[in-house]
């Protein structure tokens, strides 16, 4: 093994080893509160609440990033902080804020909704929204029940809005809104009642699994 080929293989081996090490030492996230316990948030609390509900993981294919994902679960706790920040920025009246809260609560009670920011070395691989994508996105509860999304769509948000509310974006990312309907029968999917939610993004080259563990 000589010259450029040897150097390339050594470099590839080092990068894979680093990726594996990173995978073994993935960030440990604090448990979260899935309940609707009232909070006393104010606008400035949004950033730390956003961090609490956002997960990050990347998948390495050979020496490239096959997919890197930041996913925010829009729980009721998250939405409470969002309402306060949004109302502060746009100076909402009490009535408008009440309307926003009602709409957010209705969605939180009937769906599992995620804002996903993703990037890949090969931009063509960043196509979660396509029906023929190699990536399959599902939601899994602690009992192993799996739920398919009702929609995966590219979310093109105004730049200043995205900078404040979903700051994980880079010049190379795409934003997605991924929604799952909550089944009426908990026997088919227990969701947050099971204590854990896992957003799984799987493909032939590997999978990303982003987890939220309840503290109850």
Q: What is the pLDDT of residue 13?
A: 41
17's tokens: 């080893």
Q: What is the pLDDT of residue 62?
A: 76
Q: What phi and psi, each to the nearest 5 degrees, are found at residue 33?
A: -110, 110
76's tokens: 């009721």
Q: What phi and psi, each to the nearest 5 degrees, are found at residue 130?
A: -80, 140
- The residue extents of the domains of the chain are 1-28, 31-213
89 — pLDDT class (breaks 50, 70, 90): very high
Q: How is residue 202 annotated by DSSP?
A: E
pTM for the full predicted model = 0.86
- Percentage with pLDDT > 70 across the chain: 87
């Amino acid at each position: 093994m000589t010259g450029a080929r040897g150097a390339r293989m050594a470099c590839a081996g080092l990068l894979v080893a680093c990726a594996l090490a990173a995978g073994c030492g993935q960030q440990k996230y604090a448990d979260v509160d899935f309940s609707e316990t009232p909070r006393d948030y104010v606008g400035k609390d949004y950033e730390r609440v956003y961090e609490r509900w956002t997960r990050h993981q990347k998948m390495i294919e050979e020496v490239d990033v096959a997919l890197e994902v930041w996913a925010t679960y829009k729980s009721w706790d998250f939405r409470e902080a969002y309402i306060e920040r949004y109302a502060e920025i746009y100076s909402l009246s009490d009535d408008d804020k009440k309307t926003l809260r009602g709409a957010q609560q209705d969605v939180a009670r009937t769906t599992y909704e995620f804002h996903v920011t993703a990037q890949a070395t090969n931009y063509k691989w960043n196509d979660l929204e396509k029906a023929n994508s190699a990536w399959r996105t599902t939601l899994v509860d602690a009992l192993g029940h799996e739920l398919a999304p009702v929609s995966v769509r590219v979310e093109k948000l105004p730049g200043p809005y995205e900078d404040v509310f979903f700051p994980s974006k880079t010049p190379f990312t795409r934003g997605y809104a991924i929604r799952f309907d909550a089944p009426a029968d908990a026997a088919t999917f227990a969701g947050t009642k099971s204590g854990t939610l896992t957003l799984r993004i799987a493909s032939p080259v590997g999978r990303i699994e982003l987890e939220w563990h309840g503290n109850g």
